[in-house]
Every structure is written in C-alpha cells, then in structure tokens.
Amino acid sequence: MSDQLHPPTSSLPGDDSRRTFMKQAGGLLGFTLAAPLAGPAERLTAYSSVLEGPSEMSLRINGQVKNLRLEPRTTLLDALREYLDLTGTKKGCDHGQCGACTVHVDGRRINSCLTLAVMAQGKEITTIEGLAKGDELHPMQEAFLKHDGFQCGYCTPGQIMSAVACVKEGHATTNDQCREWMSGNLCRCGAYPNILAAVREVAGQSRIMN
C-alpha cells in the first residue's frame, strides 16, 4: 500500500552530475571568499595595538599642559572633573542630551561626556574656567549676569560655552537662529528668555570675543 502511495523516485539522467557540480562549485566559492577575508584580519592582528590599562597622556587645557595617567575609556568630562578638579564643567545627563558638559576643543563646542580624553590629545581645550582673563569676565559671562540668564546655575557653564561658540559661528543673528543653534543646551529652570537676551546682546556688540 505504501509503495503505491509513495513510489520510489528514480534519478533522472544527469542528476548525479549536477549535484556533484554544485558541491564542487560551492567548495571552490567558499575557498575563494575565505582567502581575501583572512588577509586583512591577519594584517590587523599583526600591526594594530590595543590600549590596555592606564596610559600616559597629555592634555592642553586653558593654555596649560596637563600630564595624566588615564584609562583609555575615560571621558574628557571625567578627566576634567575627577582628575584635574575643573568642576565648572557639569555632568548632567552623561549621554550628550543636555549640554551641561559643553567645552571648546580647537574652538569648536563639543559634549565632553561623549568625547574620550585620549581623543583630545594635541588639541586646545577651553573650559568655563578659561574664559575670564584674571578678574575680567568674558563678555558673555557679563551678559548672563546682567540679564539673569540662570536660576539654579547648574546648566550655566555649558550654556555660556555654547553661547560663545554660537556667536563666533555667526549663528546668533536672529532670535530664531539663536534658539535653533542653542537648542542642544537645556535649562530645566526655564531661563531661556534671559539666556536669549544675553546671547543676542553679545552678538550685537562690536568688540571681538577671545
């Protein structure tokens, strides 16, 4: 009965040769692909080095060279706060979402919580502590005081650092433009109108901000 329902299938002429060809072709293809992939991997293993454990590094911060021994995974934010006692740069979200940790690297604003300290070697780092010239406040600092551009003050260092860069970039010529280019810095106290007034005042000044 079962033989009638499922009669044995007979191989058609050429089936064996086709199966043999496919097996051989698959093997050759795998060999061909494997060889090029192995080459770069071997070269990477032979010539790349991995940083393990604390390493010596040098950071130029506010015009001074600081020699540190840090883990490669240490962020610039933690290097500033935990190793150099430059606590003006604040840790807010630690995810690059609030802007409280904003500093300048080679004149450009960055989130220091998203930047590894080792990446900033050989570059000029400026923090909120480096804006004033002795007892003379930076124009942006003066403007924030004049317009009460803060309440609790926790976000203020990052706001000021971002505002300085915003003006230098030419992104504070209108209120809407200023809001857009300062949108990465959050103020949970809601001092945005005062912050905007401070930034727009400095943007309208003729003196060059250094």
Q: For 52-92, what is each residue's pLDDT tens digit?
A: 789 999 999 999 999 999 999 999 999 999 999 999 999 99
Q: Is the full-model pTM beyond 0.85? A: no
Q: Could you tell me if residue 14 is inside a domain?
A: no
Same domain as 147, residue 102: no
CA distances in angstroms from 12 to 18, 158, 171, 179, 203, listed in the order given = 11, 78, 76, 76, 85
Question: Of 101, 130, 159, which closes a domain?
Answer: 130
Residue 193: which domain range? 132-210
Q: Give the number of other CB atoms < 10 A from CB of residue 55.
A: 13
Contact 116, 55 (CB under 8 A): no
Q: How distant, in Å, are the alpha carbons of 49, 63, 172, 186 from that of 163?
A: 40, 21, 9, 12
pLDDT tens across 22-57, in order? 666 565 555 444 444 445 444 444 435 666 789 999
CA-angle at 209, arms to 143 and 87, nearest 5°:
65
Count of other CB atoms within 10 angstroms of residue 87: 14
- 102 shares a domain with 139: no
* CA distance linking residue 50 with residue 72, whole number of Å: 10
Split at pLDDT 50, 70, 90, the class of 207 is very low
Residue 19 lies in a domain: no
Instruction: Say how many domains are in the chain.
Output: 2
Which residues, in sequence order, are bridge partners of residue 56? Answer: 69
